Amino acid sequence: MKIEHCVFVCASDVFKGHNEAWTAFIESDPDCTFGSNNRSLVSRDFLLTALEEVDAKGVQSIIDRLERLPAEVYIDLEN
């Protein structure tokens, strides 16, 4: 069995200070499931695309934060 590794940041860090944007993202019915997992990882590009549909204060700040991350970094929606 091969142990895999990945790099991720917590959604709470990505959305820090932008609760309205987080709530709007959750309510936008994104094409992913989470809520009862230990980790729910989505790619940076997935989240950038999902945020294109979100109209809320702070979204552009979140997009700016995400664009500074390397593409191979995942976002953990559970934390």
pLDDT tens profile 12-71: 999 999 999 999 998 998 888 777 777 889 999 999 999 998 999 999 999 999 999 999
22 domain residue, yes or no: yes
79: pLDDT strictly greater than 90:
no
65 domain residue, yes or no: yes
Range of the domain at 42: 8-76
For 60, the 3-state DSSP assignment is helix
The conformational region for residue 62 under phi > 0 = left, psi -120 to 50 = alpha, else beta, is: alpha
Kindly report the pTM of this predicted structure: 0.84
20 domain residue, yes or no: yes
- What pLDDT, on a 0 to 100 scale, did the predictor assign at position 32? 80
Place of tokens 């019915």: 29
- Alpha-carbon separation of residue 15 from 1, 3, 25, 40 (angstroms): 35, 30, 10, 15
CA 59, 79, 41, 5 torsion-angle sign: positive
37 domain residue, yes or no: yes
- What pLDDT, on a 0 to 100 scale, did the predictor assign at position 38? 74
